[in-house]
Amino acid sequence: MTRPAVLFPLFAEITSLPGVGPKVAPLITRLAGPKVVDLLWHFPIGAVDRRHAPPVAEAEPGQVATLTVRVDAHHPPAQPRHPYRVICSDASGFITLVFFHGKAETWQRLLPPGSTRVVSGTVDIYGAERQMAHPDYIVDAAERAGLPQVEPVYPLTAGLAPKLLTRIVGEALKRAPELHEWLDPSLLRREGWPSWRDAVLAAHAPTGDADLAPLTPVRARLAYDELLANQLALGLVRHHMQRARGLSIRADGHLAARALDRLPFRLTGSQQRALAEIRADLAGPARMLRLLQGDVGSGKTVVAVLAMLDAVEVGHQAALMAPTEILARQHMATLQPLADAAGVTVALLTGRDKGRGREEILNGLAAGRIAVAVGTHSLFQDAVAFNDLALAVIDEQHRFGVHQRLDLARKGRGVDVLVTTATPIPRTLMLTAYGDMDVSRMTEKPPGRRRVDTRTVPLDRLEEVVGAVGRALGSGGQVFWVCPRVEESEALDVAAAEERHRHLSQVFGPRVGLLHGRMKAADRDAVMAAFAAGALGLLVATTVIEVGVDVPAATVMVIEHAERFGLAQLHQLRGRIGRGDRPSTCLLLYQPPLSATARARLSILRETDDGFRIAEEDLRLRGAGEVLGTRQSGVPDFRLANLDHHQGLLAVARDDARLVLAQDPDLATPRGQALRTLLYLFERDAGIRYLRSG
């Protein structure tokens, strides 16, 4: 399928717009995006009302006014740094127009003495006189009708003038076509929403601040369009997965039972329920697409391994994909003894495997001699072929896109997909990221898992904390020291970690390791392996250690500048300790004074270790925009919808999408055809690729 021709003008490059040359195009691309449609989604954040036209004497300071004045006299500057001043008046009084740059001849041409001019800009008082510095508009009285009455104010970037951007957005709006309506007529009537094109034009023509609110009919309609496209795309992926027949894996569970006998603990109730739900999916005729959502340390990997052994028991293969090599190796360490107990062959495949060893693994997978593969994204490279892949387990789904999870599923026929995440996701955001999946939630911790003692400490007590770390190391414990996030810059994060590493190495000597995202994968793995083996006692790291790293001997976690982290991320980091049988402590170092939000965030962490409650509180405190904005959320970036305001619309969009796909799964009806256009408009390609042509 190809994009409908009616949308071609919107998906042209912005350089196709008049006035967008090689200098301006990169600025607009950085600000809004590279295509004409991106400017349609670049909404105003304010409005300048130029309708206020008082006599000069009544023009209030600090307000925008449009004044009709006579030009009385020009006063060029006495010194180069002084402003150029033009005295103007009307019957009520005088005002001085002030210009800090530009040429005298320009002002004399625009403002000839004795002429009448209309000037519009912000009025100020300087000393005892009214002034207007650099009026936004200077026109002849005859041209007054051409002045905009209300002017949109857009977000800008350095080097892009407001008037130029407004004019270019105007050119983009001329390309907005009339589109067949994709919304249900009863919904349009009930909400009082305009058509799509009218809504876009109105969004760029606010008459005042009230028109900028997210729940105005204009903005709500466009937000709903985006949410509906999101829900429809996820629904199409889900519908495709369910329409494709699965393999109906019905194992008696004897391999899983052998693995369970090897475990030093019994499964929790949460684990048993999740395994039962997965087994029911595997036995059913449709393909499984299930999310296994478990808090830090709830035992998701064990559940996934037992499901994989069921697939192997009836003659198929299984694969487990992790986002990093460290995690893949850790999963291998968990899986290997269970697979050995069950008599199942397992292999680890990462980007580092080369030569004959890699060849043997690839041949073993293709021939079916290897039953279970564990690896990184290298598993879905073209060279990797399975003999009979039936179950794909994808760990920490938020590091992979929908496309990647589908790529792994294509390595077999009717592959069942189980996705796991240790990042508890608020229910609202679940719909936008995982609306195509069934969900199992694991809320219990395995027996014997200790609660981590969490404390907040101001940064001026840093040396006391260093002393406490020394005592922990002296008693045989191991310590994580997480360095602050610095302005979303990995380079600055690394610099902070390197500086802290130098300081702590001077105190504790060579037993201090350093781990950050700019190290080579092999070097990172070597440091992590040395820490896990106990050769290093203290590991200074950036947030690369956030997910999944398992070092049972680690009993102390120090998080520097904890106020800079999100709640969910702090919870993930804390989950790296408390995995052994010794008491563990998490020290949250903060820089006073704390904002109210930061104080609330840190106190919640001290109160609870329930990741699901923490996720909901994180959403409440920071808002969906912040939670979604994190690089690892896996949730789509919305341009128009704001889940802090549009949560109610999301639920309506979900129900609407389900109804549409139940009645018209191929989007073949007139409304279905219009909804195809909607999917293209919001570039929800994951859904489009599952539609039959037509």
* DSSP, residue by residue, 450-461: PPPEEEEEEGGG
Q: Among residues 630, 639, 635, which one has the least CA distance to residue 226?
A: 639
Kindly state the average pLDDT of the residues 314-336: 88
Span 86-117, pLDDT tens digits: 999 999 999 999 999 878 899 999 999 999 99
pLDDT band at 330 (very low <50, low <70, confident <90, very high): confident
Span 633-671, pLDDT tens digits: 445 568 899 877 888 898 899 999 999 999 999 899 999
Q: Report the distance separating Cα 131 and Cα 104, nearest Å.
A: 18
Q: Report the distance separating Cα 531 and Cα 511, nearest Å.
A: 9
For residue 74, pLDDT beyond 60: yes
For residue 692, pLDDT beyond 50: no
**Residue 572, token pair as written in the block:** 């993930």
**Residue 180, token pair as written in the block:** 């067949």
Q: What is the bridge-based pairing of β-strands 478-482 and 554-559?
A: parallel
Kindly state the average pLDDT of the residues 501-505: 94
CB atoms within 10 A of CB 640: 20
Specify whether the CB–CB gap between 394 and 328 falls below 8 A: no
Give the residue extent of every domain in the chain: 5-47+156-212, 51-147, 254-442, 453-608
The third-level CATH classification (topology) of the domain covering 51-147 is: OB fold (Dihydrolipoamide Acetyltransferase, E2P) (2.40.50)
Axis crossing angle, helix 217-243 with helix 402-409, rounded to the nearest 10: 10
Q: Does the structural domain 453-608 have CATH classification 3.40.50.300?
A: yes
Specify whether the CB–CB gap between 43 and 203 falls below 8 A: yes
pLDDT at 201: 97
pLDDT at 493: 65
Name which residue leads in pLDDT, 84 or 620.
84
**Residue 222, token pair as written in the block:** 């466009």
Cα within 13 Å of Cα(654), Cβ side: 17
pLDDT at 406: 64
At 263, the amino acid letter reads L
Specify whether the CB–CB gap between 286 and 242 falls below 8 A: yes
At 367, the amino acid letter reads A
Q: What residues contact 271, with CB distance under 8 A and at least 6 apart?
A: 298, 299, 302, 303, 442, 444
Q: Report the distance separating Cα 343 and Cα 332, nearest Å.
A: 15
Kindly state the average pLDDT of the residues 129-153: 91
For residue 1, pLDDT beyond 70: no
* Burial of 185 from C-beta contacts in 10 A (0-12 / 13-18 / 19+): exposed
Q: Report the distance separating Cα 514 and Cα 500, nearest Å.
A: 9
Name which residue leads in pLDDT, 353 or 178.
178
pLDDT at 492: 64
Q: Report the distance separating Cα 252 and Cα 249, nearest Å.
A: 10
pLDDT over 70 for what percent of the chain?
Answer: 89
Cα within 13 Å of Cα(417), Cβ side: 31
Name which residue leads in pLDDT, 630 or 321.
321
pLDDT band at 572 (very low <50, low <70, confident <90, very high): confident
For residue 308, pLDDT beyond 60: yes
**Residue whose structure tokens are 């789904």:** 397
Name which residue leads in pLDDT, 562 or 422.
562
**Residue whose structure tokens are 């069921």:** 310
Phi-psi region of 475 (alpha: psi -120 to 50; beta: other; left: phi over 0): alpha
Name which residue leads in pLDDT, 63 or 526.
63
For residue 625, pLDDT beyond 50: no
Side-by-side strand order, sheet with 478-482: 453-458, 585-590, 554-559, 478-482, 538-541, 512-515
For residue 629, pLDDT beyond 70: no
Q: Report the distance separating Cα 676 and Cα 229, nearest Å.
A: 9
| Cα dihedral 200, 205, 207, 211 sign | positive
**Residue whose structure tokens are 């109730």:** 269
Is residue 391 classed as helix, strand or coil in its secondary structure? strand
Q: Among residues 316, 329, 312, which one has the least CA distance to residue 374?
A: 329
The alpha carbon torsion through 286, 291, 294, 299 (nearest 10 deg) reads 50
Q: What residues contact 294, with CB distance under 8 A and at least 6 apart?
A: 270, 274, 300, 303, 420, 421, 422, 441, 442, 443
Weakest-pLDDT range from 65-79, 395-409, 417-431, 620-634: 620-634
pLDDT band at 442 (very low <50, low <70, confident <90, very high): confident
Q: What is the DSSP string of 4-66?
A: -GGGTTTTSBGGGSTT--TTHHHHHHHHT-SBHHHHHT---SEEEE------GGGPPTTSEEE
pLDDT at 632: 38
pLDDT at 627: 47
For residue 312, pLDDT beyond 80: yes
Span 34-70, pLDDT tens digits: 999 999 999 999 999 999 999 999 999 999 999 999 9
Domains 254-442 and 453-608 share a fold: yes
What phi and psi, each to the nearest 5 degrees, are found at residue 186? -70, -35
At 136, the amino acid letter reads D
Q: What are the residues facing 116 on neighbouring strands?
A: 70
| Cα dihedral 359, 360, 361, 366 sign | positive
Weakest-pLDDT range from 78-92, 208-222, 376-390, 605-619: 605-619
For residue 547, pLDDT beyond 60: no
Q: Which CATH number fits domain 254-442: 3.30.460.10, 1.10.1040.50, 3.40.50.300, 3.30.360.10?
A: 3.40.50.300
**Residue whose structure tokens are 């994968």:** 521
For residue 348, pLDDT beyond 60: yes
Measured in whole angstroms, the distance separating CA 126 from the mean position of its chain's CA atoms is: 47
Specify whether the CB–CB gap between 546 and 569 falls below 8 A: yes
Specify whether the CB–CB gap between 359 and 594 falls below 8 A: no
For residue 176, pLDDT beyond 80: yes
Weakest-pLDDT range from 410-419, 637-646, 653-662, 683-692: 683-692
For the chain, the straight-line distance linking the first and the last C-alpha, in angstroms and rounded, comes to: 8
pLDDT at 454: 93
pLDDT at 631: 36
For residue 690, pLDDT beyond 70: no
CB atoms within 10 A of CB 141: 11
Weakest-pLDDT range from 366-380, 480-494, 552-566: 480-494
- Max mean pLDDT among 191-195, 355-359, 390-394 falls in 191-195
Weakest-pLDDT range from 290-294, 309-313, 530-534, 548-552: 548-552
Is residue 187 classed as helix, strand or coil in its secondary structure? helix
**Residue 624, token pair as written in the block:** 């969906």
